[in-house]
């Protein structure tokens, strides 16, 4: 008789790590099935080709495509396999998932984010609901993430600061560039408040992890010092040391078998040699990233679940959300500064780590009074050299060659520095953003692939532009030139949630308030799928916190 594990986890990122960490430490046997490879710290390099310009950390789209469905100029929904279109919606397929490659900008959601409907009311065309838990339910676990995963920062009192059980972060702020002080002064002159951004990057050693070495390469890159709080480094390594946790890489789960008692019995998967294998467990936790989690449930049909596992109400895959917002930028030109200030500005590696949340709640007649706003984070242009060089090849539409091109590249790298800002606001859930199975396209194993409809709500664009115009004033005050702003409904694949929202009513949600499937007694979902709304911040900290919360509930079930 094959071994029956206590816990089987599908996926190994931010939603999986806390479950494995807590349950293995509690003496339970845990097995993790991870579709991608097991890349270790020593394998990560600052190679732009590997990290940003090839599908090395994500699957080859010819092997594992997805079908993306978007509106054309006529308002018609047009579907295309990304094996043909090239737009990659995979993100971080390896042990530790995309938490290996995050920039680590950590903001907590705020109390009003948990009560979006009751606070701001309905918005036509948006499926807004309140969360079944409150900020107070999650706050102890936000604090736990700070200690266990490691969060650096400085608490600055401001009008939208969320309640905290501790006065400070456990790790002091990371070192910042001179531009951070300039942003503080500019915001002060404008009547805004610039606050330190917490980062899941430790500023002093923790256990076997080194502190940040300021390599200047965070987003899209694996951390070579283990300072970044990835699931792999911060949680899975400790889980493995208990002797109770087993990680199986190259294990692509394609079916969850349930019995007549509405319990999952087995997970079936393809191994590295494309052999079909199976794992038995008492409890199953799915944390495969929102799109793939919905896809797996939809693939797992049975007599009791003819439309897919836990999908008798037809809501699996529905109300998918991304992160609304956009990007802005401006250039500091050498000619506008003293040699001393420009030299300080050009120091590499140091962070900006400044944010504005003055407009987390908007009070403006254009929005009919109070409305949910968002966050603006400031940062330098990504350090990727190839990308910056390639973008210099045109001059007013004219293609450059030879000395002229080399001179322009040299000037870009030595006589200017680009400051950017990222806008985060709610991507409102709608009936036009969801995951289903494509009828025709299959992956290399013969399984139906995810078909993703990428619709958005016009309110997302309106809020994004409002925040962007405010942020542009800061760049103007800083004296930057060539200021640009781009806000669109284009979905960012690294910030995806929903599809299996949690709630009180089994007819209106997939999961209960503890992220257990209403219809499946031993199935939990702990990636971002559970989120009915996403707040106006990146999701990772909330995913970690909720997963720690659910881990406690699973331990209670065992006890």
Give me the CATH number covering residue 438.
3.50.50.60
Torsional sign, CA 194, 198, 201, 204: positive
CA atoms within 13 A on the CB side of 147: 8
User: CB 122: neighbour CB atoms within 10 A?
Assistant: 9
- Is the pLDDT assigned to residue 307 strictly greater than 70? yes
As a whole number, mean pLDDT of residues 507-532 equals: 98
As a whole number, mean pLDDT of residues 403-419 equals: 97
As a whole number, mean pLDDT of residues 293-314 equals: 97
Tokens (6 digits) for 163: 């309640």
CA atoms within 13 A on the CB side of 55: 18
Q: Whole-angstrom Cα distance, residue 354 to residue 338?
A: 23
- Is the pLDDT assigned to residue 1 strictly greater than 60? no
The answer to whether residues 99 and 17 touch, using CB atoms and an 8 Å cutoff, is: yes
Q: H or E stretch including 258?
A: strand 252-258
Q: What is the mean pLDDT of the chain?
A: 96
Domains: count for the chain:
1
User: For 247, phi and psi rounded to 5 degrees?
Assistant: -115, 125
For the CA atoms of 249, 66, 541, 144, the dihedral, rounded to the nearest 10 degrees, stands at -30
Tokens (6 digits) for 156: 């600055």
Between 73 and 415, whose confidence is greater?
Answer: 415
pLDDT of residue 115: 97
Inter-axis angle of helices 540-558 and 135-145, nearest 10: 100
Tokens (6 digits) for 543: 């995913």
User: CB 41: neighbour CB atoms within 10 A?
Assistant: 17
Q: 415 falls in which pLDDT band (50, 70, 90)?
A: very high
The answer to whether residues 397 and 432 touch, using CB atoms and an 8 Å cutoff, is: no
User: CB 503: neighbour CB atoms within 10 A?
Assistant: 20
**Which has the closest alpha carbon to 129: 373, 517, 430?**
430
Q: Which domain holds residue 158?
A: 4-558
Q: H or E stretch including 71?
A: strand 67-71
Tokens (6 digits) for 415: 């006589």
Q: Whole-angstrom Cα distance, residue 145 to residue 546?
A: 10
pLDDT tens digits, 171-222: 999 999 999 999 999 999 999 999 999 999 999 999 899 999 999 999 999 9
As a whole number, mean pLDDT of residues 346-367 equals: 95
DSSP secondary structure letter of residue 54: S
Dmax over CA atoms of the chain, in Å, equals 75
The answer to whether residues 250 and 277 touch, using CB atoms and an 8 Å cutoff, is: no
Q: 86 falls in which pLDDT band (50, 70, 90)?
A: confident
10 Å CB burial of residue 538 (0-12, 13-18, 19+) is buried
The answer to whether residues 202 and 493 touch, using CB atoms and an 8 Å cutoff, is: no
Alpha-helix runs per DSSP H in 26-170: 48-52, 82-85, 116-120, 135-145
């Amino acid at each position: 008789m094959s071994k029956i594990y206590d816990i089987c986890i599908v996926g190994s990122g931010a939603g999986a790590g806390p479950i494995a960490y807590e349950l293995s430490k509690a003496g339970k046997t845990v097995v993790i099935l991870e579709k991608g490879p097991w890349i270790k710290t020593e394998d990560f390099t600052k190679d732009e080709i590997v990290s940003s310009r090839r599908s090395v950390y994500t699957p080859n789209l010819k092997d594992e495509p997805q079908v993306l469905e978007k509106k054309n100029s006529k308002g018609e929904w047009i579907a295309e396999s990304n094996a043909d279109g090239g737009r990659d919606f995979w993100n971080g397929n390896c042990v530790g998932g995309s938490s290996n490659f995050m920039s680590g900008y950590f903001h907590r959601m705020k109390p009003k984010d948990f009560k979006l409907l009751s606070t701001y009311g309905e918005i036509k065309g948006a499926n807004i609901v309140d969360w079944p838990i409150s900020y107070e339910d999650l706050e102890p676990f936000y604090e736990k993430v700070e200690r266990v995963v490691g969060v650096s920062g400085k608490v600055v009192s401001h009008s939208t600061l969320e309640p905290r059980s501790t006065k400070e972060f456990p790790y002091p702020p990371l070192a910042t560039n001179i531009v951070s002080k300039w942003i503080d002064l500019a915001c002060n002159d404008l009547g805004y408040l610039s606050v330190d951004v917490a980062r899941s990057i430790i500023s002093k050693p923790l256990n076997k992890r080194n502190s940040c070495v300021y390599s200047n390469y965070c987003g899209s890159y694996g951390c070579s010092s283990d300072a970044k709080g990835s699931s792999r480094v911060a949680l899975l390594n400790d889980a493995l040391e208990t002797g109770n946790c087993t990680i199986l890489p190259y294990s692509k789960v394609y079916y969850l078998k349930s019995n007549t008692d509405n319990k999952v019995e087995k997970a079936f998967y393809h191994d590295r040699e494309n052999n079909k294998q199976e794992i038995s467990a008492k409890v199953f936790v799915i944390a495969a990233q929102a799109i793939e989690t919905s896809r797996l449930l939809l693939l797992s049909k049975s007599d009791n679940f003819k439309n897919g596992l836990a999908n008798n109400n037809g809501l699996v895959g529905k109300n998918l959300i991304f992160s609304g917002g956009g990007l802005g930028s401006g250039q500091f030109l050498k000619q506008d500064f003293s040699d001393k200030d420009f030299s300080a500005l050009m120091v590499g590696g140091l962070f900006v780590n400044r944010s504005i949340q003055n407009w987390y709640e908007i009070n403006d007649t254009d929005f009919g009074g109070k409305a949910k706003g968002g966050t603006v984070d400031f940062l330098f242009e990504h350090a990727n050299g190839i990308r910056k060089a390639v973008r210099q090849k045109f001059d007013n539409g004219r293609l450059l060659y030879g000395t002229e091109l080399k001179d322009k590249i040299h000037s870009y790298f030595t006589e200017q520095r680009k400051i950017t800002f990222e806008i985060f606001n709610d991507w409102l859930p709608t009936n036009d953003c969801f995951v289903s199975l494509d009828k025709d396209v299959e992956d290399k194993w013969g399984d139906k692939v995810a078909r993703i409809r990428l619709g958005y709500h016009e309110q997302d664009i309106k809020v994004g532009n409002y925040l962007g115009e405010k942020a542009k004033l800061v760049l103007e005050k800083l004296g930057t030139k060539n200021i640009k702003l781009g806000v669109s409904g284009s979905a960012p694949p690294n910030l995806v949630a929903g599809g299996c929202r949690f709630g009180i009513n089994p007819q209106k949600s997939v999961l209960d308030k503890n992220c257990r499937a209403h219809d499946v007694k031993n199935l939990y979902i702990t990636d971002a799928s559970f989120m009915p709304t996403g707040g106006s911040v990146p999701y990772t900290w909330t995913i970690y916190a909720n997963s720690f919360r659910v881990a406690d509930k699973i331990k209670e079930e065992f006890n």
